[in-house]
């Protein structure tokens, strides 16, 4: 069996494909159950974020598993499997660790070092454990990757400054509008972690805005956020009523997961005032054709990525330091994995030989009846010594080759030769 990761991300797929391949959270459990029902997939964790849809799995056959994962993704998202072909990111065995540790460190995020990804990976693992699709192997690599991600953020300056989509989105809006934010009305769609970050950043902005309306599916959650903020400028309403707050709005920020746009072009038609839309959703919560309106300016994740890249100059050193920590933690993980792999096969081989010795001594006990207790102990010791010497070289070879392609071949050959 081997580790593999298969998926699409913002580095190798268009925003349009990522948008269409996003799976609502209530369908993740079904996705996991379907994955492990396949012949080649033994363990699986499904990771779904706004810019990443990915499966990390323990598999048998490489190509068979890729086909099964791709077909499952296609069925779940309603896409044709051929749409994934040129955009899949596939990592195998050792490369899975390098990839997943880098993701956890925020090195593969639009905003390097962002914190959201750690929570997303943790929730993905927790769901997989709950659905019993995560065994010891994927659980171990996820836990080690998350721990490495925390270490990166505590030992480097990668988290300095803009470290989340929420912060980056608010900064982009503030930079774009400048003094026009003074006395402005802002509408934020969503009341989750990302939306909360946006709201807090905007409320503390300078110049100060006059009013901020949070529209959320669950009004109670929006109300809880309003009470927590304790700011008289904050108002709340249901998501269905969001369009009723657009008249006179200067900025609309979407930070929620939806299967279809909440606001359409018709909602903005006939409104003469200029509007800036910052849409962090994948899929988009504000219909893409809204951008065709002359008075509407739109910033989405693609624009956000370009803005962040232009401001990374003073954080390159921290990013390099994070990369070194990831490389160190990956090597430590792989070394531990090699040691565990060798320990298992060596233990099984020794138990096999010990069993053979015990079985033969028992079977031939009547041949030793004429010997004294001391003589029988000498014979037993001699047999065990000979068997131990025979087992020594295979044991050393298995330990030395552990974690390499040769080690994998020796492992398989040993199991076949001794029927382990």
| CB-based contacts of 409, cutoff 8 Å, min separation 6 | none
**Max CA separation in the chain (angstroms):** 110
Write down the catalytic residue from 6, 50, 141, 299: 50
- CA end-to-end span of the chain, whole Å? 15
List, as own/partner pairs, every contact residues 216-220 make where C-beta atoms lie below 8 angstroms and the sequence separation is at least 24, other chains included: 216/189, 216/190, 216/191, 216/256, 217/256, 218/191
Do 104 and 149 contact (CB within 8 A), yes or no? yes
3-state secondary structure 365-387: HHHHCCCCHHHHHHHHHHHHHHH
- CA-closest candidate to residue 77, choices 9, 18, 137: 18
Query: Hey, what are 102's tokens?
Result: 């880098």
Q: Can you tell me the distance from the alpha carbon of 415 to that of 157, in angstroms, rounded to the nearest whole number?
A: 48
Give, in order, the Cα–Cα distances in Å from 394 to each of 39, 285, 417.
Answer: 32, 61, 12
Query: Hey, what are 375's tokens?
Result: 């003589």
Helix (H, G, I), strand (E, B), or coil: what is residue 197? helix
Instruction: Tell me if residue 215 is catalytic.
Output: no
Active site residues: 50
């Amino acid at each position: 069996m081997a580790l593999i990761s298969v998926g699409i991300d913002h580095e190798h797929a268009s925003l349009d494909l990522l948008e269409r391949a996003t799976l609502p959270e209530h369908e993740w459990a079904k996705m996991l159950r379907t994955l492990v029902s396949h012949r080649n997939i033994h363990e699986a964790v499904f990771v779904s974020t706004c810019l990443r849809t990915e499966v990390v799995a323990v598999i048998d056959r490489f190509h068979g598993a890729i086909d099964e994962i791709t077909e499952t993704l296609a069925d779940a998202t309603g896409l044709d499997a051929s749409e994934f072909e040129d955009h899949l990111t596939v990592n195998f065995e050792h490369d899975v660790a390098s990839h997943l540790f880098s993701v956890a460190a925020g090195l593969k995020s639009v905003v390097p070092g962002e914190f959201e990804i750690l929570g997303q990976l943790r929730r993905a693992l927790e769901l997989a454990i709950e659905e019993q699709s995560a065994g010891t192997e994927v659980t171990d690599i996820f836990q080690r990757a998350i721990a490495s991600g925390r270490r990166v953020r505590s030992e480097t300056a990668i988290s300095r400054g803009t470290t989340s989509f929420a912060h980056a989105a608010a900064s982009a809006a503030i930079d774009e509008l400048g003094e026009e934010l003074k006395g402005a009305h802002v509408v934020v769609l969503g009341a989750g972690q990302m939306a909360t970050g946006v709201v807090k950043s905007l409320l503390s902005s300078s110049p100060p805005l006059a009013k901020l309306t949070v529209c959320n599916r669950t009004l109670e959650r929006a109300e809880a956020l309003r009470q927590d903020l304790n700011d008289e400028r904050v108002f709340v309403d249901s998501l269905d009523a969001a369009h009723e707050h657009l008249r006179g709005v200067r900025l609309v920020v979407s930070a929620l997961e939806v299967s279809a746009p909440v606001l359409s072009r018709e909602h903005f038609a006939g409104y003469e005032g200029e509007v800036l839309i910052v849409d962090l959703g994948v899929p988009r919560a504000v219909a893409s054709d809204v951008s065709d309106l002359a008075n509407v300016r739109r910033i989405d994740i693609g624009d956000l990525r370009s803005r962040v890249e232009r401001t990374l100059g003073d954080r390159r050193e921290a990013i390099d330091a994070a990369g070194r920590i990831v490389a160190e933690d990956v090597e430590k993980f792989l070394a531990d994995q090699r040691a565990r792999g060798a320990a298992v096969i060596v233990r099984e081989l020794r138990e096999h030989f010990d069993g053979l010795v015990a079985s033969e001594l028992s079977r031939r006990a009547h041949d030793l009846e004429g010997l004294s207790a001391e003589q029988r102990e000498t014979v037993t010791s001699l047999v065990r010594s000979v068997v131990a010497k025979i087992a020594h070289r295979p044991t050393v070879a298995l330990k030395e080759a552990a974690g390499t392609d040769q080690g994998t071949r020796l492992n398989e050959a040993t199991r076949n030769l001794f029927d382990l």
